[in-house]
Structure 1
Amino acid sequence: MSLFAGTATYYRQFRPGIPHEVAAVLDHAAPARPVGRRRLLDVGTGTGLVVEALLSRFGDIIAVDNDADMLAAADAALRPKLPQGSRLSLVQSTAEDFTAPVGWQAELVTICRAFHWLDQAAVLTLLDEQVAPDGVVAVFGDSSFWAAGSPWKEAVRDVVKSFLGEERRAGSGTFQHHNRPYGEIMAESPFNEVAELRVPVQRTWTAESILGYLYSTSFAAPHLFGARLKDFEAAVKHRLTGFSDNDTFPEENEFLIRIGQRRRK
């Protein structure tokens, strides 16, 4: 079973998209080309949130994910928005098994909220053949609810733990945390000149969107709760009432973006 089995609908509706400020950073980091000749490879695309944010900036896009339901949701969302003359290929594959078309190289590779699932060193090595000589690899993401960071998120995480256990779930298993900084891993790869940027983001949630977000994750996917799903929903809503009397829950978050390129000789 996929780590994200049964989450695609929630993922598309409730996962926060990529802010314009983050899209601008990615656009600026990639080498300039006429839009029609610019190529983007999005690894671990999920439901296509990164592609959606960059659709107008790249004319040839390949989006890769190993979950067929995620790709179907991405296709349904992105096709109607695809600019005329642009190309979009959705490929079902793991990052480790993906091979780009012969001669195809990306100006920008994006890996958003997915790097921790990958064989990181292996994927970065494989990308050496799939990235243009002056191209870049961007590894980025914001903090999940599991990382908490505010009283109401800590309360929600405590409810998840009370139903599913203290360890963070990852589908039927538990999440294996990577302790090494991503920038350090990238510095040992072909893309060893690494810059880090931070983009703050503010959001406002409701009880419904919080639950929808949780159901989009591998640590609180609906199937993990079995017959106790309704009890879980009631428990989350009850805990949240202690933090707002109008069903609004502010969040301060940030995207940490790591841009890797080959060191100039």
Structure 2
Amino acid sequence: MGRFASTASLYEHLRPPYPSEFFRSVTRKLGLSKQSSLIDLGTGPGLLALGFAPYVGRIVGVDPEPAMLDAARRAAARAGHALSLIEGKAETLAPDIGTFDVVTIGRALHWMDRESTLARLDKLVAREGAIAICASFSATDGSNPWLDGYNEIRRRWSPARLWEAAGRGTRTHRDLPAFFRDSAFRPAELIAVETSHSVIVEDLTRRTLTYSSSSPEALGDNVEAMLKDVGKHLVPFSRDGTIAETIVSTAQIVKR
């Protein structure tokens, strides 16, 4: 069972959402149309793939975790979008899968082997195509005053080795020039969209379970204790059972 198997049912509904304006902005910047093709690597429950579905033609999602693919399959059916799903990794894709106008990667780059992924991307990305490294996260500029304490509680309950691995993943997304060093690709421009919404305290509490470092699999018998700790921290920041959250959604565009 993969590291995200225990989070699949939660991930889709509890992670910070990508707003509609994010998909519109990236679509405009890349000039995507119904003639465009897109492959989403590490698709999870299909958040990126299905978000771009109204704007492109062929869509493929790839993920090594069967439970995540099941969630993506159900989400595609509910949305009424055609989505081809492949169980596997970028490095193991069949050579005859073809090329795509855009390759999207969410918070999955740090799980990929650098050398083999770069070699595969060179063949996946069409001549004038692009890679979009995407993320959606709670703003860290102070507009979410509950966030530092929330993350500290997650860190305290997470096994140290998994928290350190999560930190390395964050650094990978921030240091894209290093990841693409000595390849044909270079980071071009960053698209950022900031939005705000209200989130139910219980949902924000349970969001902790969608991260590999604080998943039910990682925490074992400590799940309920951590949730109680997080919930107690969040209550003073809530009003009528909800908390205001500012979200930043980004796409780092990478091109040849």
Q: Classify the TM-score, shorter chain.
A: 0.7 to 0.9
1:156 maps to a residue whose letter is Y
Q: Does 1:135 align with 2:129?
A: yes
Higher alpha-carbon deviation: 215-224 or 92-101? 92-101
Tell me how far 1:201 sits from its aligned partner.
2.3
Whether the 8 Å CA contact 1:30–1:107 is kept in 2: the answer is no
The answer as to whether partners of 1:148 and 1:157 remain within 8 angstroms in 2 is no
Contact 2:37 2:102 in 1 (8 A): yes
Structure 1 range deviating more: 190-199 or 58-67: 190-199
- Pair 1:175-2:166 in alignment: yes
What is the TM-score with the length of structure 1 in the denominator?
0.83
Deviation at 1:182, TM superposition (A): 1.3
Aligned CA distance change for structure 1 residues 4 and 237 (closer, same or farther; 3 Å): same
Give the conservation status (yes or no) of the 8 Å contact 1:40–1:106. yes
Structure 1 position 119, deviation (Å) = 2.3
In the TM superposition, structure 1's runs of 4+ consecutive aligned residues that sit over 4 Å from their partners are none
Determine if contact 2:63/2:88 at 8 Å carries over to the other structure: yes
Find the aligned partners of 1:174 and 1:244 in 2 and give their Cα distance: 31
1:214·1:220 contact (CA, 8 Å) conserved in 2?
yes
When normalised by structure 2's length, the TM-score is 0.86
Q: 2:48 aligns with which of 47, 50, 74?
A: 50
Identify unmatched segments of 5+ residues in structure 1.
none
Equivalent residue, structure 1, for 2:93: 98
Matched, 1:113 2:141: no
Q: Partner of 1:78 in structure 2? A: 76
Retained in 2: the 8 A contact 1:202–1:253?
Answer: yes
Corresponding residue pairs, total: 252
Aligned partner of residue 214 in structure 2, secondary structure:
coil
User: What is aligned with 2:211?
Assistant: 217
Please give the residue correspondences for 1:1-265 in structure 2 after superposition, counting only pairs within 5 Å: 1-33=1-33, 35=34, 37-83=35-81, 87-99=82-94, 101-102=96-97, 104-143=98-137, 150-164=144-158, 167=160, 169=162, 174-175=165-166, 177=168, 178=171, 181-186=175-180, 188-192=182-186, 194-262=188-256
* Greater helix share, structure number: 2
> What is the rounded CA distance, in whole Å, between the counterparts of 1:122 and 1:201 in structure 2?
36
Return the alpha-carbon distance in structure 1 between the equivalents of residues 161 and 245 of structure 2: 21
CA 1:124–1:29 in 2, change beyond 3 Å: closer, same or farther? Answer: farther
2: distance between equivalents of 1:100 and 1:72? 24
- Please report how far the alpha carbon of residue 51 of structure 1 lies from its aligned counterpart in structure 2 after TM superposition: 1.4
Does the CA-based 8 Å contact 2:16-2:137 persist in structure 1?
no
C-alpha deviation, 1:162, in angstroms:
3.2
Alpha-carbon distance, 1:92 to partner = 0.6
